Each structure stands twice: as C-alpha cells, then as structure tokens.
Amino acid sequence: MQSEAVPRALHAGIIMDGNGRWATQRGLPRLAGHHRGVEAIRRTAEACPDLGIGTLTLYAFSADNWQRPAEEVGGLMRLLRSYLRNETQRLARTGTRLSVVGRRDRLPDGIPQAIAAAEAATAAGSRLHLRICVDYSARDAIIAAAQRLQSQEDLTRESFGALVAGAMHGSPVDVDLLIRTGGEQRLSDFMLWEAAYAELHFTERMWPDFGPDDLAAAMAEFARRERRFGGLKAPAVPAAA
C-alpha cells in the first residue's frame, strides 16, 4: 500500500545499464541480456506507484548506441517492436501511460507508427507515466529546444525546460532520483537538464537483475538524503500534508 509519508508525484529516471555484461558473464549473446532487461522493465515499472513514483523515465537506447554492431542494434529494434506489440494492453490495464521520448525519424519502418498507437492506447493511464527514451540524447534535446524558440522574451527555466523535456502530460520535468545500474558512474547524455538537482544512486546490480527490491532500496536511501536546492536543510521527502 501507498505509505502516507511518500508523495505520489516523484519522478525517477533509470539508466538501465549492464545488459551486455550480464549476458557475457553467463556465456550468452549480448541480446539475451537485452531480452531479460525487458522483464526488469515490467517488474520495476509495476512497483513504482506503491513506492510513490508517479513518473518513471527509462533510458533504453541512446543516440550514440547506433554505433554498436548492426546485429545488436537490429536486435534492440526488434525488441522495441515486440515490447510495443506485447505490452500495450498490460500497460493500459495497469493504468500506465506510455510515452516514448527521442527522435523517431531514424527508427526502422513501422516503429514510429507502433509508438503512436501504444501512446494513444495508454493515454488514459493515471497511475504511472512511463517514459522510455529511444534514440535519445539530452544534448540534442537541448539543441532542439533552442531551435524551437520563437523569441527569447520571457525565457525562464520553466519555459525552456518544458521545451527540452517535450510533452510531459502533467508530469514534473525535474527528476528527483536518478538511478544507474551496471556499476558505471556517469550520465551518458541522459536528462542533463532535468536532473539538475536529482539525487544520484549508482548500483552494481546489472539491469536484468534489477527489480522492486532494488527500487525500494534506492527509494529508502533517497528518503534519507537531505535535499537543499541551494538553500538550507529540507527533508528529501516532505511530511504528508
């Protein structure tokens, strides 16, 4: 059940790293790790509402990941296609609104249409806003926002941030908790604007092994952090009204 002390509107981001190493350590092809990663997405997303997370942004494929071998990129795109085909109904049933963030013009034929269909079919979801970043680069998102500017009048952190983040459907732009699995401690061009004051959580757990217990542990640590936003002491999780 939802704990009273936890606000519902938290925004968590996850850099889902370590799929390839998970597989290699087991003598499996890297794609096997990506397949297992999809199951981790499902169980992690479904744990969010009860932990007070209303928005979950997942880094699935970066603009720089096109550099990987064609076989791996092709496998990842097939996985995205099957995720959209197989998960949409379940997302709708669990009250999850899906948004796919990033460029769509370089995705293989049929995928942009499948994304639009999945987004439309889940648009009524209000328990969780699940944002999946595909062909995403935070720096490119900032450039694109700058290019969309009509004039610099009244430009604020809020108005420019809304351009950077894209359609949020009422979700907060700012990320509260940013998790990276797989042991690396870097951002790899993920939500550079939105994570300005995010609490960072790095874990050695490889993404295919990640699940609700790891998310709960990250949230427990988050709740103990003292967020100051440049000011003075304030609790990470404000007391319930």
Most distant pair of Cα atoms in the chain: their distance = 57
Q: What is the contact mask toward ligand IPE in residues 170 to 199, using x (rule: CB under 6 A)?
A: ------------x-x-x-x-----------
**CB-neighbour burial class of residue 69 (10 A; exposed 0-12, middle 13-18, buried 19+):** exposed
Q: Which residues contribute to the annotated binding site for substrate? A: 18-22, 30, 34, 62-64, 66, 68, 180, 186-188
Is position 17 annotated as part of the catalytic site? Answer: yes
The yes or no reply on residue 18 touching ligand IPE (CB under 6 A) is yes
Q: What are phi and psi of 146, to 5 degrees?
A: -65, -40
The yes or no reply on residue 17 touching Mg ion (CB under 5 A) is yes
Nearer to ligand IPE, 96 or 181 (CB): 181
Q: How far apart are CA 186 and CA 105, in angstroms?
A: 27
Q: What are phi and psi of 35, to 5 degrees?
A: -60, -45
Catalytic one of 17, 174, 176, 214: 17
Ranked by CB distance to Mg ion, the top (closest) residue is 17
16, 101, 165, 219: which one binds ligand IPE (CB under 6 A): 16
CB 125 within 8 A of CB 93: no
Catalytic one of 50, 65, 140, 189: 65
Nearer to Mg ion, 17 or 194 (CB): 17
- Pick from Mg ion, ligand IPE, none: which does 44 bind, CB < 5 to 8 A by kind? none
Nearest Cα to 36, choosing from 96, 85, 93, 79?
A: 79
CB 60 within 8 A of CB 80: yes
**CB-neighbour burial class of residue 97 (10 A; exposed 0-12, middle 13-18, buried 19+):** buried
- Shortest distance in whole angstroms from residue 217 CB to ligand IPE: 20
Active site residues: 17, 65
Interface contacts to Mg ion, rule CB under 5 A = 17
Residues of this chain that interact with ligand IPE (CB under 6 A) are: 15-21, 59-62, 65, 76, 182, 184, 186, 188
